[in-house]
């Protein structure tokens, strides 16, 4: 299938590693011109070079902290002028910490709000005029399966990401006439630095090897394995493509079947 992404300009946030990086690489492999953003410039530039070397397509690194309104504004200005247009926006960021409801302070809630909701709103609001100018566009938000079924300890993530779901559903309604689609993807468990530092932390601390810890976690996943970031990136790339022109307002899990809700 020709996804017809070639030469589209894609902006992928939080893309120096993990799910964002895999997404940037998949889009670049399909011929998109990709701009990646995250905080650490050195890591970001290294990633851009590595992807570009692999795919043969240009990847530009522009540093940004998505929790900083002024930096986000500057980032969108720079991205828009880098290739003269923006066609695809992939909203992504680091994730909030896990813990019990009573363990979090007002500051924790504020930080999660800035990182995982306001960042999406800010980037989307600033990129929208560029998509509208083209007469079409794609917005894809990376959220988590906790918006579909209960995930222990994920109160910050779940509460805040429900806001992203509401925001994107309303936005899909408003920008449909402009042929702009807005969708959310829910990663299940993918082996990235975040997961090494949280989801399998308990198992590693208990003395298991990474392999044993992964196997333990995989027991609850119908496909009996942790996902590869490329498997999430494939869904995002499809949603970003012209082939997904009639899919909007959805929240799709890519999780090896781990979400136990029926809908
Ligand atoms: N991996 C999973 O299984 C999984 C499952 C469900 C949901 N998620 C969600 O998916 C997202 C990505 O997770 P991941 O596993 O790919 O994480 P990761 O491997 O830890 O990568 C996080 C990326 O985000 C960037 N970042 C962090 N804070 C940022 C900020 N304030 N501004 C800009 N960039 C920032 C980091 O670069 P810098 O530090 O240089 O900024 C890095 O590139 C998170 O929101 C996570 O909660 C992941």
Instruction: Give the binding-site residues of ligand 1, using a 6 Å CB cut-off.
Output: 14-20, 38-40, 43, 64-67, 92-95, 115, 142, 144, 187, 189-190, 192-195
Pick from 58-62, 193-197, 213-217 the range whose average pLDDT is largest.
58-62
CA of 14 to the centre of ligand 1 (A): 6
Whether residue 204 is predicted with pLDDT greater than 90 in this model: the reply is: no
Whether residue 140 is predicted with pLDDT greater than 90 in this model: the reply is: yes
Shared domain for 128 and 209, answered yes or no, is no
CA of 182 to the centre of ligand 1 (A): 20
Whether residue 198 is predicted with pLDDT greater than 90 in this model: the reply is: no
d(CA 112, CA 121) in angstroms, rounded, equals 13
Atom number, ligand 1, closest to the C-alpha of residue 66: 32
User: How many domains is the chain built from?
Assistant: 2
pLDDT per residue over 237-257, tens digit each?
999 999 999 999 999 999 999
Mean pLDDT of the chain: 96
> Which one, of 28, 9, 32, lies nearest residue 130 by Cα?
9
pLDDT of 102 reads: 98
pLDDT of 194 reads: 87
Shared domain for 130 and 214, answered yes or no, is no
Residue 2: inside a domain, yes or no? Answer: no
* Spatial CB neighbours of 234, under 8 Å, sequence gap ≥ 6: 26
d(CA 64, CA 39) in angstroms, rounded, equals 5
Shared domain for 184 and 115, answered yes or no, is yes
- Minimum CA distance residue for ligand 1 atom 23: 14
pLDDT of 16 reads: 98
Average pLDDT over residues 127-142: 98
CA of 96 to the centre of ligand 1 (A): 9
CATH of the domain at 134: 3.40.50.720
Mutate to test the pocket of ligand 1, among 194, 214, 218, 221 (most ligand atoms within 8 A of CB): 194
Shared domain for 139 and 197, answered yes or no, is no
Average pLDDT over residues 30-48: 98
Atom number, ligand 1, closest to the C-alpha of residue 116: 45
Mutate to test the pocket of ligand 1, among 13, 18, 149 (most ligand atoms within 8 A of CB): 18
Shared domain for 203 and 244, answered yes or no, is no
- Minimum CA distance residue for ligand 1 atom 46: 95
Per-residue pLDDT band for 199 (boundaries 50, 70, 90) equals confident
- The beta-strand segments (E) located in 136-224 are 137-142, 180-187
pLDDT of 21 reads: 98
Shared domain for 18 and 110, answered yes or no, is yes
Shared domain for 102 and 169, answered yes or no, is yes
Has this prediction a pTM greater than 0.95? yes
Residue 16: inside a domain, yes or no? Answer: yes
Shared domain for 116 and 166, answered yes or no, is yes
Residue 88 phi, psi dihedral angles, 5° rounding: -135, 135
224 token code pair? 């009996």
CA of 195 to the centre of ligand 1 (A): 10
CA of 192 to the centre of ligand 1 (A): 9
Average pLDDT over residues 165-174: 98
pLDDT per residue over 147-161, tens digit each?
999 999 999 999 999
pLDDT of 3 reads: 95
Per-residue pLDDT band for 222 (boundaries 50, 70, 90) equals very high
pLDDT of 29 reads: 98
Mutate to test the pocket of ligand 1, among 45, 95, 186 (most ligand atoms within 8 A of CB): 95
Do 163 and 146 contact (CB within 8 A), yes or no?
A: no
d(CA 222, CA 171) in angstroms, rounded, equals 33
Whether residue 263 is predicted with pLDDT greater than 90 in this model: the reply is: no
Total number of residues shown for the chain: 263
200 token code pair? 């399998």
* Spatial CB neighbours of 133, under 8 Å, sequence gap ≥ 6: 85
Q: Domain limits at 220?
A: 191-226
CA of 163 to the centre of ligand 1 (A): 18
């Amino acid at each position: 299938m020709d996804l017809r992404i070639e030469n589209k300009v894609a902006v992928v946030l939080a893309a120096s590693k993990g799910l964002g990086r895999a997404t940037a690489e998949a889009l670049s492999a399909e011929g998109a011109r990709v701009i990646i953003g995250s905080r650490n410039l050195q890591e970001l530039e290294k990633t851009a070079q590595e992807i570009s070397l692999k795919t043969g397509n240009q990847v530009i690194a522009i540093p940004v902290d998505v929790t900083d309104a002024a930096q986000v504004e500057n980032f969108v200005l720079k991205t828009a002028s880098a290739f003269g247009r923006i066609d695809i926006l992939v909203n992504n960021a680091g994730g909030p910490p896990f813990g019990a409801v009573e363990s979090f302070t007002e500051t924790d809630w504020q930080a999660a709000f800035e990182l995982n909701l306001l960042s999406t709103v800010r980037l989307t609001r600033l990129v929208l005029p560029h998509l509208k100018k083209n007469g079409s566009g794609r917005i894809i938000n990376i959220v988590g399966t906790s918006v579909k079924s209960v995930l222990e300890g994920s109160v910050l993530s779940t509460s805040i990401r429900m806001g992203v779901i509401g925001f994107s559903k309303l936005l899909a309604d408003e920008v449909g006439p402009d042929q702009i689609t807005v969708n959310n993807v829910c990663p299940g468990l993918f082996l990235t630095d975040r997961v090494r530092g949280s989801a399998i932390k308990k198992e590693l601390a208990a003395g298991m090897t990474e392999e044993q810890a992964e196997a333990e976690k995989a027991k609850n996943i119908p496909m009996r394995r942790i996902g590869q970031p490329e498997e999430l990136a494939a869904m995002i790339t499809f949603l970003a493509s012209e082939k997904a022109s009639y899919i909007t307002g959805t929240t799709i899990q890519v999780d090896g079947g781990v979400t136990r809700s029926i809908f």
